Amino acid sequence: MTLWAASRLSYSSSHLGLALRRRLSYRKKSCECESSAGEQAGHAAARYTLEKPVAPGGPVSSAHLLSFSRIAAGPVVAILILDHPGDVYLLAALVFAVASLTDAVDGKLARHSQSVSPLGIFLDTTSDKVLVSLTLVAMAIAGLSPGWIPLLILGREFLISGLRSFAASCDLIISAHVWGKGKAAVTMAAIVCLLVSASGRLGGILGPLAPHSVWSQFYTGSVWLLGLAGALTVVSGARYVVDAMPLFRPQRATAKIQREERPRVAACGDGR
């Protein structure tokens, strides 16, 4: 009886040891899988951040004022387009061109003066959308451009804004992509060309410089350039969606925990 009990106890101990080893092996594999998933999510999330720390705040800088000027220029350009044709189109093109050039200055100015802040990031991404969106809507109403192109560009802007808001909830900021920057540059160039060609077609101050047929061809080419901007809008929007897909996977929770252990980082301007 004692021998049977001893053998029973020995069997139970060996069985328990085997179960514990299996349990530890399973937990080790689970930890390795979670670590691998976290690393993959972290690498995917790295596409949405830059290594420039964000200042906690501060007074309004000159870079902020440039961004504010683009926001103010949007309604001005729209009113000029809707109110009077002819030479006013040329004035609208000049105002829009100057406002667009400030977009290439404020980001560099903020980084140079070390005044990068959440306010500056918000203003830089918002001011471009206000300027371009109001101008495109006004041009469509005035009959200067096909209506579907502004709708396509505006739809993309809403989509990217939604993705950026969702990324912000995951403690990420989606930085600008080369396709987005190219789309913005082509769109702004197309708007300026359309306004200048429309002014020449309507007999403005530039009208006598070339025959009406030349201005008409210039206008047609400008419409095609705006169509190219529409195509880049689709491509850049699709690229942003593809890059943002990891944010919709369960691993983003693990990545968020890992990011909370590191200093917060953010994109510094050019958030197209």
pLDDT of residue 28: 47
pLDDT interval class at 45 (50, 70, 90) = very low
Residue with tokens 């201005």: 215
Collapse the DSSP code of 181 into the 3-class scheme (helix H, G, I; strand E, B; otherwise coil) and give the result. helix
Which among 64-68, 150-154, 226-230 has the top mean pLDDT? 226-230
Q: Which CATH superfamily is domain 45-260 in?
A: CDP-alcohol phosphotransferase transmembrane (TM) domain (1.20.120.1760)
pLDDT in tens, 140-150: 998 888 888 88
- Between 203 and 38, the more confident residue is 203
Length of the chain counted residue by residue: 272
Answering whether pTM is above 0.85, one says no
Query: Does the structure show a pLDDT above 60 at 254?
Result: no
Question: Contact, 266 vs 55, CB < 8 A?
Answer: no
Helix-helix angle 178-201:212-244, to 10 degrees: 160
Backbone angles phi, psi at 23, to 5 degrees: -65, -45
Over residues 109-129, the pLDDT tens digits come to 767 766 666 666 777 778 888
- For the chain, what is the largest distance between any 2 Cα atoms, rounded to a whole number of angstroms? 119
More confident residue, 251 or 207: 207
Rounded-to-integer distance, Cα 153 and Cα 150, Å: 5
Task: Give the confidence band of 183 by pLDDT, cuts at 50, 70, 90.
Answer: confident
Whether residue 49 is predicted with pLDDT greater than 50 in this model: the reply is no
What are the φ/ψ torsions at residue 246 (nearest 5 degrees)? -60, -25
145 secondary structure, DSSP code: S
The residue extents of the domains of the chain are 45-260
Cβ neighbourhood burial of 121 (10 Å; 0-12, 13-18, 19+): buried
Determine the pLDDT at residue 116.
Answer: 64
What's 88-138 look like in SS3? HHHHHHHHHHHHHHCHHHHHHHHHHCCCCCHHHHHHHHHHHHHHHHHHHHH
What does the radius of gyration of the chain's CA atoms come to, in whole angstroms?
28
The angle, 0 to 180 degrees and rounded to 10, between the axes of the packed helices 62-83 and 87-101 is: 160
Q: From residue 233, how far is each of 62, 150, 158, 185, 240 by CA, in Å?
A: 30, 10, 12, 11, 11
